[in-house]
């Protein structure tokens, strides 16, 4: 166990070094996918070690970059990672909200696998939170429609 933890800590240190080197490059030489990959990997490592605050910081930075560059798939993935951190800390309502955001983002992409995964998480966490998941209107007009029985 200690050996695995030490290995992960060494990887964190190496990735932090790479990220710092990257940030020292002139803006014209930077490539945002490299930065987001480094941040996601750092976040993942921190997350596996239970370092929620550090993981969340990495994911928040990654989320901002994905949004800045219009990377919808990356944005959805990062929202999903943030949701998992909330779940790990027992914050199911926060996890549910982030999963719903990820679902909404994936609805605007062609990544149907990620969309189904996000929908499954929403359904799971809604059930845990005692909420009924909102049905999905697959017509594409309104992604969330509640039918109360009074409409005809």
3-state secondary structure (DSSP) of residue 135 = coil
pTM to 2 decimals?
Answer: 0.75
User: Can you tell me the distance from the alpha carbon of 73 to that of 90, in angstroms, rounded to the nearest whole number?
Assistant: 26
Q: Is the dihedral of CA 115, 116, 119, 121 positive or negative?
A: negative
For residue 52, count CB atoms less than 10 angstroms from its CB and return exposed for 0-12, middle for 13-18, buried for 19 or more: middle
Domains along the sequence of the chain with CATH: 2-128 (1.25.40.10)
Per-residue pLDDT in tens (0 to 9) along the chain, 152 residues: 567 777 887 887 888 777 777 777 776 776 778 889 999 999 999 999 999 999 999 999 999 999 999 999 999 999 999 999 999 999 999 999 999 999 999 999 999 999 999 999 999 999 988 875 555 544 443 333 333 333 33
Q: Dump the DSSP string for 92-125.
A: HHHHHHHHHHHHHHHTTSS-HHHHHHHHHHHHHH
Question: Do 133 and 123 touch, CB atoms closer than 8 A?
Answer: yes
């Amino acid at each position: 166990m200690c050996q695995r933890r030490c290995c992960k800590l060494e990887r964190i240190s190496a990735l932090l070094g790479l990220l710092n080197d990257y940030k020292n490059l002139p803006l014209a030489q930077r490539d945002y996918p490299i930065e987001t990959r480094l941040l996601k990997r750092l976040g993942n490592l921190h997350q596996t070690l239970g370092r929620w605050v550090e993981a969340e910081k990495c994911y928040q930075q990654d989320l901002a970059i994905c949004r800045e560059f219009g990377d919808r798939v990356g944005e959805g993935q990062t929202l999903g990672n943030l949701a998992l951190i909330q779940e790990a800390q027992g914050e199911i309502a926060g996890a549910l909200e982030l999963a719903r955001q990820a679902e909404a983002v994936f609805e605007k992409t062609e990544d149907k696998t990620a969309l189904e995964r996000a929908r499954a998480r929403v359904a799971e966490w809604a059930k845990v939170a005692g909420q009924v998941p909102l049905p999905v209107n697959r017509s594409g007009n309104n992604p969330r429609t509640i039918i109360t029985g009074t409409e005809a």
